[in-house]
Structure 1
Amino acid sequence: MSSPAPTPNPTTQLPSEPDPLFTQRTAIILLGGAFIGLVVGALTFLGGGSAAGAVLAGLAGAGASVMGLHKLIG
C-alpha cells in the first residue's frame, strides 16, 4: 500500500522578494532635486559666477528643493 501524498501546509509561505532600496516616491524626489540643483548651478555659472560658486549654489538648491519636494509630494 502506498502512503497518501503529503498535503501542503498553508502556514508555509514562499520567500517574498526583498523590498526595493528606494521607493518610487524617493526616486522622484531625489531626481527632481538633482534636476533643480543642476539648473540652479548652470544658471549661476552662466550668469557670471565662478565654477565653485555655481557648485555651491547647485548643492544648496538641490538640498532645499529635496526638502520642499518631500513636503509637497506626500
Structure 2
Amino acid sequence: MGDEDQQPRSQPLLTLRTVIVLLLGCLTGAAAGALTVAADGSTAEGVLAGGVGFAGAVLFFHAIIAP
C-alpha cells in the first residue's frame, strides 16, 4: 500500500479554459444557426451562420478569457 501501488495521474485531454472556450463557441454557433433558420432562412444558411458564429466566438472568447 505504498506509493508503488498508485497509478500515475494522467493529464486531462483538454484544459478547463479550452473546454469553456469551445463550449461557448458551440452555444454561440448553435444560437446563430437557429436564429437564422427561424428568420425564414434555409438550413444551408443556418449551417453557414452557425459555423461563422462558432469561429468568431472561439476567437473572441480565446482573447478575453485569461490563460
RMSD over aligned CA atoms reads 1.2
Match of 1:27 in 2: 19
Q: Alignment length, in residue pairs?
A: 61
Q: Is the helix fraction higher in 1 or 2?
A: 2
CA deviation vs aligned residue, 1:21-72 (integer Å, no higher than 9, x gap) = 0000100000000000000000000001100010010011001100100001
Q: Shift of the alpha carbon at 1:18?
A: 1.6
Match of 2:31 in 1: 39
CA radius of gyration, larger in: 1
Q: Shift of the alpha carbon at 1:16?
A: 3.4
Match of 2:45 in 1: 53
Q: State how far apart, in whole Å, the 1-side matches of 2:17 and 2:53 are.
A: 19
List structure 1 runs of 4+ shifted beyond 3 angstroms. none
1:66 aligned residue (54, 58, 66): 58
Q: Shift of the alpha carbon at 1:15?
A: 6.3
Q: Which runs of 5+ in 2 are unaligned?
A: 1-5
| TM-score, reference length from structure 1 | 0.77
| Counterpart residue identity of residue 11, structure 2 | D
